Amino acid sequence: MRGFYDAIIRRDWPGAYSLLHPDAAKGLSAQEFGRRAESYRGKLGFDPARVAVRTCEEHGDDATARVALSGPGGNRHTYEDNLFLRRHEGQWRVTLPPRFGQK
């Protein structure tokens, strides 16, 4: 889960895309994901440099993690988000909210 946001921080769109659950990637090309991820990152209002996982609750094959992205300036540049995960072939994969990175 941390790897997904690490990839977003680095603008490694193929790396982040590779961590999606197959259901989340269905009908979403890597190029479209890259556009949405860039939009998501731009809406943060700062250049994120770190990710911290605050909590993670597992419920069978689903999990919700509370993460915080932070950048220069400490608390002035922090964004908290929920990351939704689903187990696939023994590994946690990211599911995206329907409007991820959309206007």
Domain ranges of the chain: 2-95
Torsion of CA 24, 27, 30, 34, to 10 degrees: -70
Instruction: State pTM to two decimals.
Output: 0.89
Is pLDDT at 85 greater than 80 in this prediction?
A: yes
The topology under which CATH files domain 2-95 is: Nuclear Transport Factor 2; Chain: A, (3.10.450)
Residue 89 and residue 50: Cα distance in Å, rounded? 28
pLDDT band at 102 (very low <50, low <70, confident <90, very high): low
Q: Does residue 51 or residue 73 have the better pLDDT?
A: 51
Which run of H or of E encompasses 10? Answer: helix 2-10
Position 74 pLDDT exceeds 70: no
> Residue 25: which of 102, 100, 103 has the closest Cα?
100
Give 33-71 pLDDT, tens digit per residue: 999 999 999 999 899 999 999 999 999 999 999 999 999
Tokens of 94: 């990211």
> What share of the chain in percent tops pLDDT 70?
92
Q: Over the chain, what is the mean pLDDT?
A: 91
